[in-house]
């Protein structure tokens, strides 16, 4: 499966002021696969896995000598380290904190060598060690986006049609059908690969169950013993609170807030969940007016979210893809698509807007910025649905000149409202991302 971020890596390779790159992301989203595929484009590729091979830890001693380390690496791997021709990949680098310290010195002493690091649960190690600002670049990797899913299905023709907004009625229906499959499969590479090879619903759900089990096993690696039960409750509560302001009491009304709050933030650092903060939405960056006490939470993958919720697959595959039926699942889809097509060099950020008054409440599902304009985004059914909240937003935000509605309907425009299909978030979002 080709990942779009191969293009990011190619641009990084040719950057005249390149520094070592660290790939961050949740477990099993394809970090190692991506770098290995990229390594095939080099004359020489050295892959070191600190989790599988404990002996290589000794090659990165406390006393840092980059040239000595490369000398021993050459002897150990029998692969040359030639600047411009060799890619050095330090996988599962969190298992060897010393190796993380080495990254800054690769930049200072041997900047011409291509060095990439990756690992699982890296955030916890980085929090303890700190990072060398300006001496390491980052790539945040997530599960396959819907566009990448189409590529995996050998349907780049549909990708191109989405990008060009050139969708006829027949293609629209085909895309909705692919999207329906993507929404229960999700974007975890192992699940998508199993679907492509076998087209077997039960096999794919077994892979999803295995991934969920692996994530729950990971709780022991970054949580204290007394926190593990709470982590499990929070993990399984997120899907039940999709699209709503997250309430700690809804996790367990017999439990105090603090341990639940701790558990949620552990899951965030592990990449299992994404926070969507409330913002006033008057200025950008949106973070400047965000309220950390008000937030929604989305899981990292829609397929895993559905599996945790016990999706009735038979009903799902036989029902039409309609927002009214999808409910909060559509918001989960849009949340992870907005993140996937954002700036790959920065952690994905999403925001929403909500106001409460005596005359009623108004809520806009997502707030984003495009071309220096604040844009409200609603995930709603039909042409007129959801206009009340958007109108309230426009009345109180004169700098917002248009809004976006995401639905199962085709591309269209209605005054200051741009409507895009659920499968086409990339057509609106991707051309505003930056980085490489």
Whether the CB-CB separation of 332 and 365 falls below 8 Å is answered with no
DSSP character for 93?
Answer: G
- 278, 295 in Cβ contact below 8 A? yes
The mean per-residue pLDDT over the stretch 329-357 comes to: 94
Whether 290 has a pLDDT exceeding 50, the answer reads yes
Nearest CA to 21 out of 74, 87, 71, 67 is that of 87
DSSP 428: H
Which of 121-135, 209-223, 305-319 reaches the highest mean pLDDT?
209-223
Q: Max alpha carbon distance in the chain (Å)?
A: 74
Q: Which of 238, 182, 243 is nearest to 378 (CA)?
A: 243
Residue pair 130/23 in contact by the 8 Å Cβ criterion = no
Proportion of the chain above pLDDT 70, given as a percent:
95
* pLDDT band (50, 70, 90) for residue 433: very low
Helix axis angle, 201-222 relative to 228-238, nearest 10°?
140
In a domain, 276, yes or no: yes
Q: What is the pLDDT of residues 361-375, one digit of tens each?
A: 899 999 999 988 999
The CATH number given to whatever domain includes residue 87 is 3.40.50.300
Residue 51, token pair as written in the block = 């989790």
Same domain for 119 and 245?
no
The per-residue pLDDT for range 144-168, each reduced to its tens digit, is: 999 999 999 999 999 999 999 999 9
Number of domains in the chain: 2
What is the per-residue pLDDT for 434?
42
* Model confidence pLDDT, tens digit, residues 27-55: 999 999 999 999 999 999 999 999 999 99
Q: What is the mean predicted confidence (pLDDT) over 419-432? A: 87
Same domain, residue pair 104 and 196: no
State the chain's mean pLDDT as an integer.
Answer: 93
Output the pLDDT for position 312. Answer: 86
- Which element (helix H / strand E) includes 355? strand 350-357
In this structure, the answer to whether residues 226 and 370 fall within a common structural domain is yes
The verdict on 117 and 238 lying in the same domain is no
**Alpha-helix residue ranges (DSSP H) falling in 78-227:** 97-109, 122-129, 146-152, 156-163, 169-185, 189-198, 201-222
Structure tokens at 135: 């001496």
Q: Quick: pLDDT tens for 154-205.
A: 999 999 999 999 999 999 999 999 999 999 999 999 999 999 999 999 999 9
Local confidence band at 316 (pLDDT 50, 70, 90 cut-offs)? confident
Q: Are residues 227 and 357 in the same domain?
A: yes
Same-domain pairing of 56 and 154 = no
Whether residue 144 contacts residue 25, with contact meaning beta carbons closer than 8 Å, is answered with no
Q: Please report whether residue 347 resides in a domain.
A: yes
For residue 382, pLDDT over 60 is answered with no
Tell me the residue range of the domain where 408 lies. 146-432
- Both 113 and 162 in a single domain? no
Residues 108 and 156 in one domain: no
DSSP assignment of 241-256 equals GTTS---GGGT-TTS-
pTM exceeding the 0.85 threshold for the entire prediction: yes
Residues 103 and 155 in one domain: no
* Same domain (yes/no): 241, 377: yes
- Residues 130 and 155 grouped into a single domain: no
- Which residues lie closer than 8 Å to 79 by C-beta, 6 or more apart? 44, 45, 46, 86
Please tell me whether residues 255 and 128 are part of one structural domain.
no
| pLDDT computed for residue 315 by the predictor | 85
DSSP string, 318-381: HS---HHHHTHHHHHHHHHHHHHTS-TTS---EEEEEEEETTEEEEEEEEEEETTEEEEEEE-S
């Amino acid at each position: 499966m080709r990942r779009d971020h191969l293009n990011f890596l190619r641009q990084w390779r040719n950057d005249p002021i390149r520094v070592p790159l660290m790939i961050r992301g949740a477990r099993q989203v394809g970090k190692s696969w991506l770098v290995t595929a990229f390594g095939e484009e080099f004359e020489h590729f050295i892959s070191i896995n600190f989790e599988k091979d404990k002996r290589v830890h000794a090659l990165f001693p406390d006393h840092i000598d980059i040239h000595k380390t490369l000398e021993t690496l050459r002897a150990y791997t029998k692969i040359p380290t030639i600047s411009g021709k060799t890619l050095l990949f330090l996988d599962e680098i969190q298992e060897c904190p010393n190796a993380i310290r080495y990254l800054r010195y690769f930049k200072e002493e041997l900047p011409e060598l291509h060095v990439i690091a990756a690992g699982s649960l890296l955030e916890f190690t980085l929090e303890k060690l700190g990072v060398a600002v300006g001496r390491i670049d980052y790539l945040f990797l997530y599960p396959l986006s819907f566009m990448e899913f189409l590529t995996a299905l050998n349907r780049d023709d549909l990708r191109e049609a989405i990008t060009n907004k050139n969708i006829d009625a027949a293609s629209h229906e085909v895309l909705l059908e692919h999207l329906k499959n993507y929404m229960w499969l999700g974007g975890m590479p192992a699940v998508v690969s199993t679907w492509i090879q076998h087209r077997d619903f039960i096999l794919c759900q077994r892979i999803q169950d295995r991934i969920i089990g692996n994530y729950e096993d990971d709780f022991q690696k970054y949580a204290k013993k007394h926190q593990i039960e709470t982590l499990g409750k929070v993990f399984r509560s997120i899907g039940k609170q999709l699209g709503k302001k997250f309430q700690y009491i809804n996790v367990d009304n017999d439990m105090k807030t603090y341990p639940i709050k701790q558990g949620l933030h552990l899951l965030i650092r592990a990449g299992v969940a994404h926070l969507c903060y409330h913002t006033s939405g008057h200025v950008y960056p949106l973070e400047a007016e965000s309220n950390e006490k008000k937030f929604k939470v989305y899981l990292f993958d829609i397929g895993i979210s559905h599996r945790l919720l016990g999706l009735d697959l038979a009903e799902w595959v036989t029902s039409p893809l309609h927002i009214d039926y999808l409910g909060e699942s559509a918001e989960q889809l849009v949340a992870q698509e907005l993140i996937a097509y954002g700036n790959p060099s920065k952690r994905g950020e999403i925001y929403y807007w909500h106001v409460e008054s005596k005359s009623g409440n108004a809520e806009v599902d997502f707030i984003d910025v495009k071309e220096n304009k604040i844009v409200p985004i609603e995930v709603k059914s039909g042409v007129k649905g959801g206009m009340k909240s958007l109108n309230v937003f426009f009345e109180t935000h004169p700098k917002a000149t248009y809004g976006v509605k995401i639905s199962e309907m085709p591309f269209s425009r209605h005054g200051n409202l741009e409507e895009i299909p659920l499968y086409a978030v990339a057509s609106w979002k991707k051309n505003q991302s930056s980085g490489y």
